[in-house]
Structure 1
Amino acid sequence: MRKIYVIGIGAGDPDHLTLQAAKAIGRTDVFFVLDKGEAKESMIELRRRLMKAYGRPSRRIAEGRDPDRDRRPVDYEGTVADWRSRRSQVTEALISEHLLDGETGSFLVWGDPSLYDSTIAILEEILDRGQTLFEYEVVPGISSVSALAAKHRIGLNRVGQPFQVTTGRRLAEGWPDGVDDVVVMLDAQQAFAAHPEADIYWGAYIGTEDEILASGRVGDVGEEIAKTRAAARERHGWIMDTYLLRRDDSRGSE
């Protein structure tokens, strides 16, 4: 039986790699990489560094082209489902062609595989089709959420209180009920601007040499964060940012 590891490699700092992840990389025969184009080359470079540092000298790399998708679709869920299906077909072809019986393959996943990453769902879709068989194991990693909290030296929750992790698209629909601390990922529209009285702890490219951090009251720093974000995205061709929004728990809904 072929085996696949889904390995969380952290938010960007090579030192985020766990001992468990390093051992899994060392057991890998084939690394699968989906190329996102030249703008994402720096994301792939970290993976290459980890393969070289911890992988076998005989390791192989199988590369495929990550399908494009509409980033501002009218039917968001339908568009994502279609993209995942096309991505699973590319992934299945790579596994079938490059991973031999008895070998181990790995996907090196940014952050933690359980948090806003599609690799697990794609592997399940492949197995559901029943044409390509393998077993797989997930190795957790340090997420951008935990790295963000560490960089700002804050806790994600306050005493006895919950917090919620959501997306910018959901936050744009309104502040989630029942929480005063909201971690936001995948926010291309700076939805935090609608909450000027909240405090924000923001970070981009966390753990890399390009890391940018900012914090303060949204009404005071929100515009500058938006400008910084736009400039950084233009410079790098991509951006990965995360933030915590925190409001006074006595204030209620805004």
Structure 2
Amino acid sequence: MNGAPPVELCGIGTRFGRHWVLRGVDLTVQRGELLALVGGSGSGKTTMLRQIVGLLPPTEGEIKLFGESLHDGNRDELAARRRRFGMLFQHGALFSALNVFDNIAFPLREMRCLPEAEIRDLVFTKLGMVEIDRDAAWRMPAELSGGMIKRIALARALALDPELLLLDEPTAGLDPDRSAAFVTLIRTLHQALNLTVVFVTHDLDTLAALANRLAVLAEGRILATGSLDEVVQVDHPFIQRFFLSERSMHALRRGKGTY
């Protein structure tokens, strides 16, 4: 279904033991959006992100990607669907025993249909996309700074030219300058590659600079969706505490004005 939304969550509920983390969650992500999943610690943001990519099954409800149920289809159909999205994990999740080149090449080699020369060209292309010099291709993850790990993990997430990009705390652990540069990079790639981006963040500077729509999670449900200006108008105690404290307002103004 070419015109279908990249992500649809329909009645999603997630329970760990007797505790429901999410219950009755409905959310549609439209093509081209930069959607932020926002909430307090333990609100289910990362749980939802992992469910979208199939790493964690929901207890109830259905997830659709590009109009198709996440787990429907034969092996080839499932593989084709998975190639349409890429994910950047919070700490990069690079394979520690592989150098940078082989980390980015890994999903390309898993396809088992590309010659090594073409894989080499694609790896260097992806490194260029994330503004990393090709000399870094032979370094090991342990030799990299936090900012380089983020960029190389992003290059790997983009290796298969996905339409949907999912980011878990993309600026966590970065200093303000590197955080600003990484947000600028994501915005540039979003526009250049016509990506749909869904990201989890607790950083209000990143939120203000990157998102064009928010989904706010609390109490096991989505409290509000909309632009930042729309969300802060919602009369709910969590939203008032999260967005409208003096510290939060300062961060939001800084984020809007810096990037």
Structure 2 length as normaliser, TM-score? Answer: 0.29
